[in-house]
Chains A and B, each alone.
Chain A
């Protein structure tokens, strides 16, 4: 059995699979299937300074090779998370990552400061949510935006800081470099691609927010390409995500340059996906006599 342990920004993970924010809540629902320690880590549902009601329904639509969502960051707020979810999560034997989103830089800083005094393992800066009117992705689509918010939060954040990047940009390498230069300890990528579906009978968008974030298997090649491009621009570790649904996809993402992985939409198709992906990954490594999963990172041999 190969060594699946990875280390991201000083945080040790038992294996490279992390549940992606927004797909896994705060973990309670999935522990019915397996212990949460099955996963290397959990990136919790995105939280905001104050409770958010989320967007009106419908929030979900099927799409070829995936789905759209516009949940709109419905969450009980950072204080509720710290008081009610974090203590339980910390007992589950997995890395706990708080995903934070805000309307203003001050929101992000205030949350980073609060969370720095807790025993959360890592903070993921969500500057790529396409489904909220203010903030979110507006910080994530320009180098100045990414650099500015990362630098501001860095001052208040005593935890390892991971910046989650949006794919809705012209040059992902530039954006990744801006995050690194501003003090990010790691980057996670990619968030959803903005998409839209229309009901041809009613001529209405299926999602009440009109647009939503596209996720699912169709994103894999886009995500692999972007992780590869970013990996050539930064030295900090990259947590790769976007369309991973099988162990082969996981290997591909690691070879492209990811040091760890997040999976999300595949939970909806198959709640047991992480168990199957880890099995496959293990077999792949053993068959090739590769001692550690870390040896795969950046192992691509480009033409």
Chain B
């Protein structure tokens, strides 16, 4: 199975911050097949388009997938109201995921806001070799910092208003961290700063992008994102099939 559609029972659900929901899905086959950084495409009852949501964590042994998403509009609002015991109609696993390589390397993970969840599964693979810098608007919207810590990662938190951790940008916490590789997901200004850092250090960096999406598998060409060819010219690649994770030297932010 490359990907398929299956009903997945909701085993657990919690609102972990205002408007941000944590769901655990019973998804045995998907949990075996999925890689950190891939995403699931969930049917919203009554809507035409599925909603792409990144996989936060995978437990192949327990056969579960964890997703953490924020209410962004009507679709995610409907999903957030689903209850434990309900089934989500899930198309998964989709996209390429992070290329983790040697997990004995020192890895730096940089996440902003709802860009933080896709990093958890990957950071856990690096454990104590991972340093995680995550930024949020304030203490109330901070999520998953304890999950990273439990996985053995060194964690830095930054908030825009200083209500938790460093008062300022997440890149401030990241820039002095010793690292062989960077993984990042978050708002575009943050990603730009991360790419700048990777360039200065001359280390590899993978970033996860998002775009409005229809099919989720590369057929409809809806989720276009500008990418660079070897010769430096631009073309439109697609987040669902070519990504969502991209080598930072190939993207146009």
Once the chains are docked, how many angstroms separate the CA of A33 from the CA of B3?
A: 8
- For B49, the chain A residues whose CB sits under 8 A away are 60, 62, 67, 268-269
Q: Which of B25-33, B122-130, B215-223 contacts A (4 or more CB under 8 A)?
A: B215-223
Interface residues on B, range: 20 to 34
Q: Which of A24-32, A160-168, A234-242 contacts B (4 or more CB under 8 A)?
A: A24-32
Closest to A266 in B: B48
Whether B197 sits at the interface, judged by CB under 8 Å, is no
Out of B73, B214, B225, name the residue touching A268 (CB < 8 Å): B214
Whether A271 sits at the interface, judged by CB under 8 Å, is yes
Q: Quote the shortest CB–CB distance from B65 to chain A (angstroms).
A: 19
Closest to A63 in B: B48
Whether B4 sits at the interface, judged by CB under 8 Å, is yes
Out of A23, A55, A63, A217, name the residue touching B215 (CB < 8 Å): A23
Main DSSP-derived SS at the A contact region: loop
- CB within 8 Å of A: which B1-34 residues: 1-5
Q: Quote the shortest CB–CB distance from A59 to chain B (angstroms).
A: 5
Q: Quote the shortest CB–CB distance from A70 to chain B (angstroms).
A: 9
Whether B226 sits at the interface, judged by CB under 8 Å, is yes
Q: Quote the shortest CB–CB distance from B129 to chain A (angstroms).
A: 35
Main DSSP-derived SS at the B contact region: loop
Once the chains are docked, how many angstroms separate the CA of A163 from the CA of B141?
A: 54
Are B219 and A60 in contact (CB-based, < 8 A)? no
Are A269 and B50 in contact (CB-based, < 8 A)? yes
B residues within 8 Å of A by Cβ?
1-5, 43, 47-50, 73-75, 91, 211-226, 235-236, 241
A residues within 8 Å of B by Cβ?
22-25, 28-30, 32-33, 45, 53-63, 65-67, 69, 71, 74, 206, 216-217, 265, 267-272
User: Apart from A60-B223, A67-B49, A271-B5, what 20 extra A-B contacts exist at CB < 8 Å?
Assistant: A28-B218, A28-B219, A29-B215, A29-B241, A32-B2, A53-B236, A56-B226, A57-B211, A59-B222, A62-B74, A62-B75, A63-B48, A71-B220, A71-B222, A265-B48, A267-B219, A269-B43, A269-B48, A269-B50, A272-B5
User: Can you list 5 pairs linking A and B with CB atoms under 8 Å apart?
Assistant: A29-B217, A53-B235, A69-B214, A268-B50, A269-B50
Closest 6 CB pairs of A and B: A25-B219, A60-B222, A29-B219, A60-B212, A29-B217, A57-B224
